[in-house]
Amino acid sequence: MKSRKLLTLAGVIFLALALAVMPLMAACGPAPEEPTTPTTPTTPAVKGPLKYGMSICMTGVAAEKGSPMGHGKLDAIKYINEELGGINGHPIEAIWYDNSYDAAKAATIVKKMMSDGALFFTTNSSKMMMASQEIANRAGFPGIASFSSPICTNPPQHIYAQMPDYGDDFAAFANYYLANIWKGEGKPKLALHLLNNPTGSGSGDAALCLADELGIEIVATEEHTATTISEMESMTRIKAANPDVLFIGSTPAPSAVVIKNAYELGLYPGVVIGCAHASFTKAMVAIAGADIVEGVYGVFPTCSWGEDVPGMAKMTEYCKAYHPKDYGNMDYITSWAEALVGAEILRLAVENCGYDKLAAGDAAAWECVEKNGIQKLDYDVEGLHGPVKYTAGDNRLDKSVRVFQVVSGEITAVSGWIDAPRIPYENFPDKFPWAVK
């Protein structure tokens, strides 16, 4: 009986010592894994983010364009992150700021995006890129303008155009007009009405460059501001020049003013009106009135809503779910496609450079993104616009446009895809000194 009591006491002492030592063992060894069951799966750790800079004119005088464009790219990033798992497991972090279509804000924003560690940046417009590009080019910070003017990409530096520029719009429309609309003798007489910034000058520069080659006579050139409410005086001067065709290089609201004034003066219908792609959207039709803009032509570089292309269904799903008022506006298509292009750039950069190098968000990371992402693009953008592919000496990534016309109040394609060859502005240094290095 005594020996049994001693054994029991020894057991108690052993157990006490074991319990005292166990925490020390646990501290020195690996922690046990939590049990898992099929109904409570573990969630994999999220990899580090890829920072995508965006300067967006959500508010201000160009908000009728900037707002749907902002919605399109942010909706697309939501889709990429939540349904596709980001880029090889790395979520895209959208670093975006509202520039209000204000050049001073845009210059501040590009500096902010650089300090935020963005790997590249985009702007909606040529005006905002013009305000940003000197800073970006000097730093080697790559940027892409969704809607671009030739002055943004000539001479080629670190700024790229997502699609053909406003000069390409004029060239495509002029060739379409000469082949399909003009029935007169001699040279058709052209009038230009241009927004007083790179949006307008892009079309005007192409007209100056190509008019003699195409056999077109420029008889009038007028400018307007983004806030114009009447162009009766300028349109009266244009009417006096008796043009055959009027080309407008602007955004939706001022273009609507120009067309309404042409209608009120009896100049239209009569003269043929063509528009560069910055203005030719659902917003312009709504502002001017469908009956007034009926028959107006325009150029645009994306597909139309409802076309049978691979990217249409998912884009439509997100647009209707999150921003249904933007449905039918091709500016949304432009920026949804921009985000797809941006994601492809990041995918190429991660695969070619490795995440650790990109995570620094510094000049070395920017160089990797430009050389191993942007300049290695060969991507079809799911059919939403022409394929994007870098060509040395030409910083336009997509080089295809189509001609549209307002028919029964709807913007309707009237041509197939038209190739936009690069316009050699540098061959005319006296006219275009900005194109010469």
| Measured torsion, CA atoms of residues 130, 251, 238, 227, in degrees rounded to the nearest 10 | -90
Q: Predicted confidence band at 46 (pLDDT cuts at 50, 70, 90)?
A: low
For 373-382, what is the mean pLDDT?
98
Task: Report the chain's mean pLDDT, rounded to a whole number.
Answer: 90
The terminus-to-terminus CA distance of the chain in angstroms comes to: 105
pLDDT in tens, 229-278: 999 999 999 999 999 999 999 999 999 999 999 999 999 999 999 999 99
> According to the model, what pLDDT value does residue 437 have?
79
Would the pLDDT of 26 be above 80? no
> According to the model, what pLDDT value does residue 40 have?
33
Report the top-level CATH class of 50-164+304-398.
Answer: alpha beta
For 90-97, what is the mean pLDDT?
98
> According to the model, what pLDDT value does residue 317 have?
98
For 35-45, what is the mean pLDDT?
36
pLDDT in tens, 283-329: 999 999 999 999 999 999 999 999 999 999 999 999 999 999 999 99
The rounded distance, in Å, linking the Cα atoms of 221 and 22 is 88
The rounded distance, in Å, linking the Cα atoms of 151 and 395 is 11
Query: Which pair of tokens denotes residue 232?
Result: 């009766």
The rounded distance, in Å, linking the Cα atoms of 346 and 119 is 9
Question: Considering the chain, what percentage of its residues have pLDDT values greater than 90?
Answer: 89
Q: Yes or no: is domain 167-300+424-435 CATH 3.90.1150.10?
A: no
Q: Predicted confidence band at 34 (pLDDT cuts at 50, 70, 90)?
A: very low
Opening angle at CA 24, ends 21 and 25, nearest 5: 85
Would the pLDDT of 409 be above 80? yes
> Which residues of the chain are in CATH 3.40.50.2300 domains?
50-164+304-398, 167-300+424-435
H/E run at residue 304: none
Would the pLDDT of 45 be above 70? no
Lowest mean pLDDT among 5-9, 112-116, 182-186, 347-351: 5-9
What Cα–Cα distance (Å) separates residue 228 from each residue in 23, 149, 380, 430? 77, 21, 38, 31
Residues in Cβ contact with 270 at an 8 Å cutoff, skipping those fewer than 6 apart: none
Query: Which pair of tokens denotes residue 110?
Result: 């590009």
Query: Which pair of tokens denotes residue 108?
Result: 């501040």
pLDDT in tens, 201-230: 999 999 999 999 999 999 999 999 999 999
> According to the model, what pLDDT value does residue 196 have?
97
For 71-92, what is the mean pLDDT?
97
Would the pLDDT of 380 be above 80? yes
- Using a CB cutoff of 8 Å and minimum separation of 24, what contacts does 269-273 make? 269/295, 271/191, 271/243, 271/244, 271/245, 271/246, 272/177, 272/181, 272/244, 272/245, 272/246, 272/297, 273/245, 273/246, 273/247, 273/248, 273/297
What is the pTM for the complete model shown? 0.86
For 378-397, what is the mean pLDDT?
97
